[in-house]
Structure 1
Amino acid sequence: MVENASGSKTAFVNVRVLDTPGAPQNLIVREVTRNSVSLVWDAPLIDGGSRVRSYIVEKRESTRKAYSTVCASCHKSSWKVGDLEEGKMYFFRVLAENEYGIGLPVETIRPVKVSERPLPPGKVSVREVTGTSITLTWEKPDHDGGSKITGYIVEMQSYDSDKWSQVMVVKTNEALVTGLTQGEEYMFQITKNSLTLTWEPPLLDGGSKIKHYIVEKRESTRKVYSPVTTCNKMSCKVEPLPEGGIFFFRVLAENEYGVGLPAKTIEPIKISENRIIRPQMSTYTVQVGHDLKIEVPVAGHPKPTITWTKDGTVLKQTTRVNVADTAHHTTLTIKDATREDGGMYSINVSNTLGSKDCETDPMYNQTLVVSAGETFSLEANVEGKPIPTAQWFKGTVEVENSARAEIKNTDFKALLVVKEAIRVDGGQYTLVLTNVAGTKTVPFSVKVLDRPGPAEGPLTVSNVTEEKCSLSWLPPSHDGGASISHYIIQKRETSRLAWTVVSSDCVATMIKVTKLLKGNEYIFRVMAVNKYGVGEPLESVPVIMRNPFVPPGSPRELEITNITRDSMTVCWNRPENTGGREIVGYIVEKRDRAGVRWTKCNKRSVTDLRFRVTGLTEDHEYEFRVSAENAAGIGQPSPPTSYLKACDPTFEPGCPTNAHVYTTFSCVLTVFVTNLLQNLLRST
């Protein structure tokens, strides 16, 4: 902006910073076979001001540290890595490249084992048949998928049924099936040890559609989970599993912003013949007046009997309560749920081999949604003998009477009133009722709709140079009841009060800030945004824009050699201090005794420790000095040499050589000395 007494004028200049691209996004292992792995990924969020022209795909074995290049010029966002060794574990990474160089890599989080499911067993043969039994044999699969076959599952189907039921699990290629009905027709099939997992989608999708689920397992004797597969459905068949093995399983949901928290099996599962799989339950959330539906997968052979209870009392079928059982699921449906429907629900699953019990988490939540500034109440009817005492907790902290929170408990009712709700009032509340007979807890969930809280600190400033730096932070602990849509990043110089917007639509929790002024001190701040508004800012500490390195020291021990009438050679040693960066060259200067200014001798940067200076004037005297240069600039010059004259070197004459007799007379001997024709010696 320019301004004078007549007015002002403003002009805008668009600046595009050219740099290498950022890391590619969302690297996913799409398919694994016995000798290949298929990878897919998304383009980088930051392309460095230039179109990404190709990707570099690399791999490394889990037992090694160095990556090797698979494809140096991939022009699409997917690649099938072939020629892998079956049974080995590999890491993979992808780097984007534009015209300014190669960017940061994105890597697979966990190693990928190159293997696949085994092929089906070979031909099944009937070796012996009796009235109530049959002996089966079969051939091994043509390929075991890269892992040892741990067992075979024998399944049976009667002639008048369309369902297969598991009969037994064996380790050999032979099975004796007993307990058959004489005269009935049966079909048999042989599979591998397996387990089917089912789950429900997460209550919160993070503001983005769930892309897929990651299924992992771990043996009970180990602490680390290993990946099994990724799937787009809410069920997965895990196979093969070793008979007798004890496993934990977990499932993680992934959206475009990353992988969420896992849902785990409550107890370990033993892979064995004729087993009952413990049904997995979790906390169910329903608002008063809505229908509650709990569907639980159940498996067992023989077919189990299922019984539902609430707080220890067997549930009965009513017009509101209905229990429906199928071959693989049991479903409890309660219409128009009330507060009294809250409690501990249990399932008992039993057959001739035994029984299992499973409980829901204590009480389903009744979620109360309020806007910021409103007043909300939590209440519950209280019954007990003797009359119980009531306590309210938020999280693990007991709620006390205050100007905004008022507790109004009576002998038969517990009531908590919170006035002018703010963001931090949202969360999990618990009513604890206690008497000599025991303790009962009732949870309540409250969501307060408000602007988000400040981002989690600290706001880290890294990779600081003279004109740019990088910022990173964590999402706010309170999102205000709505997903964070983006962040606003601002900066200001410490000598000023006004803030300037760096980015108003940053969706990641990191950003690269450019166009900063060398030597200036800045403060940065970040604000989260949801659909209810802009949250409170998180500020950084003041940071001065300067390189983390300095110019190098002075070269040492200058020496002048090979002096002629128009040239001299200057030699030196490296500086003791490089300034923290590599020295890229040296600058040689000269000064005539008759002059006052130093003159640069080399047009291009000198990388050697010697330089021949030419173009000198004969009989003039010169002194020289040398300066080193790195990325931070040119360092202090060395002390100058003493003055030296530009002239050809002179030497004293040497001794005569090769003397011989030329002519002999009776009285005169003439001797010629080669190389000294101007001297004539006589003797008599």
Structure 2
Amino acid sequence: NRVLCHAFLFAEHLQPPFFDIKPVSVDVALGESATFKCHMTGSAPMKVTWTRDNRQIRPGGNYKMTLVENTASLTVLKVGKGDAGLYTCTASNSVGKDACAAQLAVQGIVSFSVHEAFICKGDIWRTNKKYKVMSENYLASIHILSVDTADVGEYHYWHLLAPPTFVKKLSDLTVVVGELIELQAAVEGSQPISVLWLKDKGEIIRESDNLWISYSENIATMRIGNAEPANLLYGIYFFFFFFHLKKNADRIIPPSFTRKLKETYGQLGSSAVLECKVYGSPPILVSWFHDGEEIISGDKYQATLTDNTCSLKVNGLQESDMGTYLCTASNVAGSDECSAFLNVKLIEGLVVKAGTTVRLPAIMRGVPVPTAKWVTDGIEIKSDGRHKIETDNYSTVLTIKDCIRKDTGEYLLTVSNAAGSKTVALHLTVLDVPGPPTGPINILEVTPEHMVISWRPPKDDGGSPIINYIVEKRQSKKETWGLVSSGTSHTKIKIPRLQKGCEYIFRVRAENKIGIGAPLDSEPTVAKHMFDPPSPPGKPTVCDITENAATVSWTLPKSDGGTPITGYILERREASGKWVRVNKAPILDMKYRVTGLFEGNTYEFRVFAENMVGLSKPSPSSDPIKASPWMKTNCTSSEFLLKTRLALADQLN
């Protein structure tokens, strides 16, 4: 008994973890706390573990661990000398794992990685109670414990290199006036070598229009274009050399993946390549694993490391090659790893546009005749509405009419008889216009002339990347939309040329290669300052009245509108007349001497407060007064003082 089946096959897999935000290395003092944070993506549930120098950290005691909305954090509550090291966060789920790392440096513990001998201030250091000098795997290191001011200085190390020696020395030279002078010397030794030419008692010789100095391929040359007696006045030329013997200590950088592995798809029988990029101090050892088993390079697998790019080529893909692939990189300073899933498909997935009618045919063979069952999202598909299934003894066909975006997914076909069953799959992608941007539209800045708005990308991009956003505006009282921008890929924009005091509604639509999606509308917003005008000042009081002048006083407004008051505007009018502005420039005080009155006329006064937004409503009108030399009153009346104090108390409250 056997079953033969030709159909579409695609396997659905969960997403392995991936760190999109990594922790940052920190440097703290003894006794302080240190926190590492990172964020990951991937299919739940995910397990998170922390290690220090490859030793797992358990929660509790001096360590606090949290995992909230895929953000993992580790806090060392009180840092001690033993807490310095490389901290690694590893996230794993059923289909893979990922890791990221950061360094914790503790002030008071200093470590240099250098070679051969250690020198500071001319002293060669060796292991004692304060200094520990070690050498392992051709790497020498010195550890300084309990750092104090005596340790301040520049640290160097020495290489055991070949000192420079002369192979060809300078010789005496006699020349005729006007001839070319050329002096040469050859030296050998470890590079770099620097040369310096001196004359007589140590005068340094420098290049000029008539003198050239060169050093190439261990040959030092000096040429004088025109020999003159002045050139020989001080006698023979000497050649001096020196060799740099010291070099600053190098920091060994642990490996870190700057570009991680990504989920890869391969065709059955073909090959697939997994690539990632690593940064760190060489030499770096790279290893590959498939579902936990180490991969050995050969005909099946070809692993390479070129220009910090790690690649693994898997040849002759089979279903057994499907799984999680892990790449690890390590050197003497630490290690890092990343992983991704390799998906092996019998055929490519099917991609169609919305509105298309799709037919998924499959040929089946078996004795006895097998039965067919179509399933998507765990629900069996029946012939109903837009779905139609046609099955005979040899084939089955699933037809989906007028495909919509929600038809995207995995379609499983299971054929079975008494001898067994076989399941194959096809991934169907229906491309459509994107959904509306994710709301709400945030109004970030409001002025009378412009606003700044922002939004988030659509939850569904329609199966094709968003290439553009179309932003429009309209006044609330109007029906027509005006275009603001049709060429931005950002999710934030400044909307200029607004009319002060008008209420606006904005809408944003996303666009992909299929078309423009549904809009997201904002709440109505008035184009104005984010503050309000002040409230009216208190009722004016008039005093010190003469036949042609009077002093008008008032109290503070109850509210400044949220921004400081910049001045006051005072108006007057004769009985039943029109209001006339008194002052040209804003009044900064809360009283003003009004002149230009006419004797015997009756006047009223009112005041406006002003801030950066504009003028307040007018204050209540003052009691009428008559310009007369006999109406003079005291401006410091107890009533005026009481009103001023009450207004100040209101503002303080």
Higher relative contact order (CA 8 A, sep 6+): 2
So what's the TM-score if we normalise by structure 2?
Answer: 0.47
